Homo-oligomer: A and B are copies of this chain.
Amino acid sequence: MDLSLSCYACGATATLADGPRCDCGEPYWVRTEPSGFDWPATPERSLWRYRDLLPDVDPSGLAAGAGGTPLVRAPRLDDDVGATVHVKYEGANPTGTFKDRGSAVGVAAAAETGDDAVGTVSHGNMARSMAAHAASAGVDCLVLVPADVPTERLSLLARYDPTILRVDGDYGRLYRESLRIGSEAGVRFVNSDAPLRVAGQGTTALEIAESFAPDTPDAVVLPVSSGGHASGVWKAFRDLSTAGVLDRVPRLYFVQAAACAPIAEAWGRGDDVVEPVEAGETVAYSIANADPPSGNRVLAAASETEGGVLAVDDDAILEARRALASSAGLFVESACATALAGARRLGDRGDLVTDDDVVLVATGTGFTEREVDAPGVDAETVPLSALAETVTRVV
C-alpha cells in the first residue's frame, strides 16, 4: 500500500513513503477522489461505511467496531446555547474516544503491510486506543510516555498489554524523533496528525453529515489539541462538498482550554501561523498541546469555513461537563466539555443563533476520569415502611 498524499497549504503531492510532512513544513493528508461519492446503501454501521473516501485497507477485529457513534439531540441545552443543539457522542467508540477512528485505519494499514509493530507518542486516549487496536490485530504496540508520568496514570493503558517505554528527555521532541526511529526499526508510528490517522478521524464529519442529509448543520464545535481531528473533519466536509452531496460546509469552530491555547491565541491575533506557548495546568489536560503540529491547518479550516477558534477557562469547562450529564445524559471527559463551553460563548456573542443546528463533538467518555470534580451525593435514608409517603413527597 502506498497512498497518495497532498499538502493543503501548497498543493504539493507525495506518497506515504515520503513521510508525513511537506517540504513547506505543513502536514500532508491522504488524497481522496470524492467525485461521484454518494451516501452508501449498505447497512454497515462502522466508519467503514465510507470506504470510498478512506485508504484502501481491509479492517478486521476491533477496527471494524470503530465509528458509527450516535448523534443525540439535547433539547434541554438549546436555551443555554441559543441554538438547536446536537451532540456527537464519541465515547461510544471501543476505547471510549474518537481516537479509535484513526487507530482503526492506522493499525489496519500496518497489519496489512506487515509492519512489525505500531507505535504512538501519548500517555492518554491515543495510547489506549492504539494499544487496543494492536491487541486485536495481533501486532505489537510501542507506547512512548514521559519519564515522570505517575504509574497509576498508565494502569488503564497496561490493560491492553502494550510495550511502554518511559523516555527521559524533551518529550516535545519525540513527535518528530519517533518517526525517524520508527522508520529505521520497522515501527509504524500513527501519531496525532499522521495522514492515516487524519483519514480515519474525518469519518466523524462524514457521519454527522449523513445524519443530517439532505440538510446540512450550520456549525460544528470541536475541541482541538494537535489539530489532527480538526484537519480530518475539515477535509471530509470539503470532500462531501466536492462530491456535491452538501450544498455548503458548516462553520467549524475549534475550542481550547484557556491555560493552553496556542491556536486560539494565533486566531485572536489574526495570524495564520501558530506559535508554541508555555502550557499552564488545566482540567482539559487531554487537549493541552502547547506546540500543535497541525495548528496552522486548524487556522486554515476555521478561516475557510467562516468559523473560528476560541478558548474557555476551567470553570466554564467543568460547568459544561456537569450540564452535559444532568441535562443531556452524557457524562464526558473534561477536555470534550470544552465544546459546550465554547458553544455557550458563541451563542452569547451572536455567532450561533436560534435557528442554527449546531453539533458539539463530545470526543470522549467521562468514565475514564471519574475522579475529576466528583459530586457530593445527596441521599435521604428512609425506612421501607415510610417509603410510599416519602416517594409521594419527593416526586
Contacts and interface: CB of A to CB of B under 8 A. Distances in A.
Contacts of A133: 329
Interface string A255-292: 00000000000000000000000000000000000000
Contact of A181 (B140, B163, B387): B387
B45 A61 contact: no
Instruction: Work out how many copies of this chain go into the complex.
Output: 2
A64 B70 contact: yes
A380 interface: yes
A117 B159 contact: no
Nearest to A148: B381
A73 B95 CA distance: 16
Given A169-B384, A327-B135, A381-B147, A93 B92 contact: yes
A19 interface: no
A382 B173 CA distance: 15
Interface in A129-154: 131-136, 138, 140, 142, 144-145, 147, 151, 154
A136 to B, nearest CB: 4
A319 to B, nearest CB: 13
B61 A381 contact: no
Contacts of A24: none
Interface string A174-202: 10010011101111000000000000000
A167 to B, nearest CB: 6
17 contacts: A41-B41, A62-B329, A65-B71, A69-B92, A72-B136, A74-B136, A95-B329, A132-B325, A154-B379, A156-B331, A156-B367, A158-B377, A168-B381, A168-B383, A169-B384, A187-B391, A187-B395
